[in-house]
Structure 1
Amino acid sequence: MEVVVSDDPMIDAELLRDGLGPDATVTVAETSSEDAAREAAADAEALVADVSTPVTADVLEACPNLRIVARAGVGIDTIDVGAAAERGVVVTNVPEYCTEEVATHTVALLLASLRSLGRYDRDVKAGGWDWRAGREIHRLSGLTLGFVSYGPIARRVREQVEGFGVESVAYDPYVDAEEMADDGVESVDFEELLDRTELLSVNAPLTEETREMVDAAAFERLADHAVVVNTGRGGVVDEAALADALEAGEVAAAGLDVFAEEPPEDSPLFDRDDAILTPHAAWYSEEARADLHETVATNVRAALAGETPPDRIDPDLDWV
C-alpha cells in the first residue's frame, strides 16, 4: 500500500500510518504544484491531498498506479473529479469532520464584524479609547441572516444563532423549501436573498455555478449596513469587488476565512479595518483534526481493498 501524503502541516503522517495499518508505506512530499504532485505521486496507489494540491488531468495521467485521491478536508475544487473518474481513480473527501468548528467560526466572524471588534482592537492598541471608532453598529436582534447554500454548516450556524432574534433566509436550489421551513428558514431566490439579507453567510462549495456569484452586482443589492462572511470557498466571492464595495460603503464589514488564492498576496482587503481575515482556520480544533485523519484512513483503506469508500465523491455532479 503506497500512500503519498501532502506535507501540509494539518496532515500528520504518523496519525495516518496508525489508521492505515502496518501494510502501508507512507511518504510525505511537497505537492503544491503540478510538477511536485506528479513527481510525488508517480508510483503511489493513494494520494492524500491538501487544499493546495492540484490534482489535474495531467497529474492523474502521470500517476498510473493511483487508485484514490483522498482529500484531507471538505473542498475538492483543486481536483479534476471527471478526469479521475475516466481513469478509474476514486476521489473522496471528509465532509463532516469540522461542521461544528466552521459553524462556530462563521458565527464568530459575523459577530466580530457586526460589532466592529477589529476596528476597536486596533484603535485601543494604538492608544485610542473611542466608542465611535466602530461606527455604525446596528442591533443584532431583528436583522436578517441570509445563507448562500444551506448545507450542514449553514444548518448548524442557524442553530447556534437561535435565540439572537434574527430572521433566517437561504438560497439553495438543491434543498427543498419544506425542509428549510422545518428549520424555520425561508427559501428564497438569489435576488431576494440579497435584497433582504443584512448578515450574509457564504457557505457554498466552488463550482462553475457558484464561481464569483457574490460579485459587484450582489454587493450593490445588499443593504449598506450588511456584513458579508465567507467560510465556504474563496472563489465564490469576488474579493476585489468586495474591497470596492467596502470602500464605497455599499456594505459595512466583512469576515473571510477563505480566499481565491491561498495564501492571498497583496489583497486589497489587507489594509482595511472593516475586514477581518483568518487563514483558512475555521476547520480547526484538536477534535476535528483527529476525526479528519481517522476518516481519511478509512477511505484509503476501503479504496485499496477494492471497496467503495464511505465518502466517495460522485463524479456526475457539477464539480470544478
Structure 2
Amino acid sequence: MNVIILDSRRHSYVQSPDFERRVMGAEADVTLYHVDDAGQLPQHAFDCDGILSWHLVPLPAQALQRFSRCRAIVRAAVGYDNIDLPRARQQGIQVANVPDYGTEEVADHTLALALALIRKLGACDRAVRAGNWDWRAVGTVPRLRDLFVGLVGLGRIGSAVALRFKALGCRVGFYDPLRPSGWEKALGIERFEHLSALLAASQLVSLHAPLNSATRHLLGHEELQRMQGKWLVNTARGGLVDTQALAAAVAGGTLAGAALDVLETETEAPPTALLCDRVIWSPHMAFYSQAALAELRTKAALCLQQLLRHGTHRSLISPQEGA
C-alpha cells in the first residue's frame, strides 16, 4: 500500500512518518509531505492508494481528481470540512475520520476556557502583575452554579462537556436537531428545538457542532446580537461563527466575552477587535495532550489500513453526515 501523509508547512502536526510506519507495518510505504496545498506535491505522490489528511491542507475537487488510484482518505481529526466529500464519493474514494480520540481533552479545555471567562482569570492576572491586589478591580463575577449553559451540538464531545458542567452544578441545555428523542433524558439536561431559544436562555454558549453547509456561520450577526451580556466558547470549528460579525459583537460590547480555540482562517491573524482583553485565545489545541496525539495518529493509521485491506470501517463518513 502506497500511503501519503498530507500535513501543512506551517503549524505541522507530524514531524516524521515513523509512527505511522510502525503502526501500519511492512505492507505500507508511508511518505510524509509538508505542503500548503496538494498542487505542491510531486507527480508520483498522486499515485497513492490512501491519504492521511491533516486539517490545514485542503482537498477540493480539483486536487482530488488528480489522485487517480486513491481508494481511501482518513481525516486525522473529528472534523473533515477540508475534504470535498461529494467529489471523493464520485471518484469512489472512501472517507473516514477519527471521531473517538481526544474527547476528554476537548471537553476539559472547553471547561477551562469557560471558567477563565466566568472567573475573569485574565483580568485577575493583569491586575496582580500591575501590583493591584484589590479583588474589586476585576469587576463582578457570577456564581458558577447559577449559570445556564447552552450547548450547540451534542455529539461525543458535547455530551462530555454537558456532564462536566452538570458536575459543577450548572443547568445545561442543548440544541441539536440530529440527536434522537430521549437524548436529553439520558444526560439529564434540557432540549431546545430552536437555536434562538437556546441563545435566549443561556448565559454561556459553547459550540460543539460539525462544520458543513448547514452549520457554516450558524452564529451570524443576528444570532450574536441575541447574546447581549453573554459569553461564547468555541472549541469546535471557526467557520461556525461569522468572524466579522463576532468582531463587531465584541467591539460593540454585545458579548460579555469570548474564549476561542479556533478561527475561520487560521493562517491569518485574528481581527484586531478579537485581540482585546475580553477575548481569550488558545491556538487550536483543545484536542491536545501527548496521549491524545498518539491516540489520534494510531487510530487514523489503523483506520486507513483497514479501509485499504477490507474496504470498510465503523468511522466511515455517511452521505448524511457529509451533507
TM-score by length of 1: 0.93
Contact 2:248–2:273 (CA under 8 A) maintained in structure 1:
no
- CA pair 68-282 structure 1, distance change in 2 beyond 3 A: same
Q: Return the offset for 1:162.
A: 2.3
- Provide the residue aligned with 2:294 in structure 1: 290
245-254 or 95-104, larger mean C-alpha shift:
245-254
Say whether the 8 Å CA contact 2:165–2:172 is kept in structure 1. Answer: no
Aligned to 2:311: 307
Shift of 1:38: 7.5
SS of the residue corresponding to residue 173 of structure 2 reads: strand
- Structure 1: which 5+ runs fail to align? none
What secondary structure sits across from 2:5 in the alignment?
strand
Residue 194 (structure 1) aligned to one of 189, 199, 214: 199
Moved more, 86-95 or 163-172: 163-172
Offset at residue 183 of structure 1 (A): 0.9
Contact 1:53–1:78 (CA<8 Å) still a contact in 2? Answer: yes
- Is the contact between residue 53 and residue 75 of structure 2 (CA under 8 Å) also seen in structure 1? yes
Give the Cα–Cα distance (whole angstroms) in 2 for the partners of residues 134 and 41 of structure 1. 55
Match of 2:73 in 1: 69
Matches within 5 A, 1:165-204: 165-188=169-192, 189-204=194-209
Q: Note if contact 1:141-1:165 (Cα within 8 Å) is conserved in structure 2.
A: yes
- Report % sequence identity: 35
Report the AA paired with residue 214 of structure 1: L
Aligned residue among 13, 35, 43 for 1:10:
13
Q: CA deviation at 1:297?
A: 1.5
> Structure 1 residues 259-268 or 296-305, which shifts more?
259-268
AA matched with 2:167: G
Query: In the TM superposition, what is the alpha-carbon distance from 1:10 to its structure 2 partner?
Result: 2.4
**1:1-320 matched pairs, under 5 angstroms:** 1-8=1-8, 9-11=12-14, 12-36=16-40, 39=43, 41-188=45-192, 189-224=194-229, 226-319=230-323
State the SS of the aligned residue for 1:305. Answer: helix
Describe the SS at the equivalent of 1:162. helix
- In structure 2, stretches of 5+ residues that fail to align are none
What are the Cα deviations for residues 56-92 of structure 1, in whole angstroms up to 9, with x where unaligned? 1111111111111111111100001111011011111
CA distance in 2, matches of 1:283, 1:41: 29
SS in 1 for 2:303: helix
Tell me the distance in 2 between the aligned counterparts of 1:108 and 1:264: 25
Measured on the aligned residues, the alpha-carbon RMSD in Å equals 1.8
Is 1:29–1:40's contact at 8 Å kept on the other side of the alignment? no
- What is the Cα deviation at residue 106 of structure 1? 0.4
User: Closer, same or farther in 2 for the Cα pair 1:270/1:194, shift >3 Å?
Assistant: closer
Give me the whole-angstrom Cα distance separating, in 1, the residues matched to 2:245 and 2:130.
Answer: 29
Deviation at 1:279, TM superposition (A): 0.8
Are the structure 2 counterparts of residues 80 and 47 from structure 1 closer, same or farther at C-alpha, using a change threshold of 3 Å?
A: same
Q: 1:54 to 1:125 in 2, by over 3 A?
A: same
The residue type equivalent to 1:95 in the other structure is: P
The answer as to whether partners of 1:202 and 1:231 remain within 8 angstroms in 2 is yes
Equivalent pairs counted in the alignment come to 318
* Superposition TM-score, scaled by structure 2 size: 0.93
1:115–1:134 contact (8 Å) kept in structure 2: no
